[in-house]
């Protein structure tokens, strides 16, 4: 991802409210489904770590891999992910 694109995504991310929350269950199948659905619909999604905050750095990277998305940024207890919408051909 190019630097200008990343900068634009970071700017857009600041205006977002978290759509998905990571609770005591951590990276549960339900949480991953909610995030995947949100990424399919919005492309850019912010999540909030409500629990497991001491593990958020590792969990944030694991979420990135498991959702096939790109972590745009992690600030405090939030992380923002980007995944381009699939084209109709795919």
Summarize pLDDT for 44-80 with one digit per residue, the tens. 999 999 998 899 999 999 999 999 999 999 999 999 9
Dihedral pair phi/psi, residue 71, rounded to 5°: -75, 120
pTM: 0.91
Q: Does position 90 have pLDDT exceeding 70, yes or no?
A: no
Say yes or no: domain 3-82 is CATH 1.10.599.10. Answer: no
Cα–Cα distance for residue pair 90/46, rounded to 1 Å: 25
Q: Where are the domains of the chain?
A: 3-82
| Greatest Cα pair distance in the chain | 41
The pLDDT, as a whole number, for residue 17 is 96
Cα–Cα distance for residue pair 75/30, rounded to 1 Å: 23
The per-residue pLDDT for range 34-47, each reduced to its tens digit, is: 999 999 999 999 99
């Amino acid at each position: 991802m190019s630097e200008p694109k990343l900068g634009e995504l970071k700017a857009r991310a600041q205006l977002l409210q978290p759509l998905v929350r990571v609770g005591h269950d951590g990276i549960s199948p339900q949480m991953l489904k909610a995030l995947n659905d949100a990424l399919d619909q919005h492309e850019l999604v912010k999540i909030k770590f409500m629990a497991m905050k001491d593990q958020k750095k590792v969990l944030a990277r694991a979420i990135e891999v498991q959702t096939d998305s790109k972590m745009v940024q992690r600030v405090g207890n939030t992380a923002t992910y980007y995944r381009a919408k699939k084209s109709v051909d795919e």
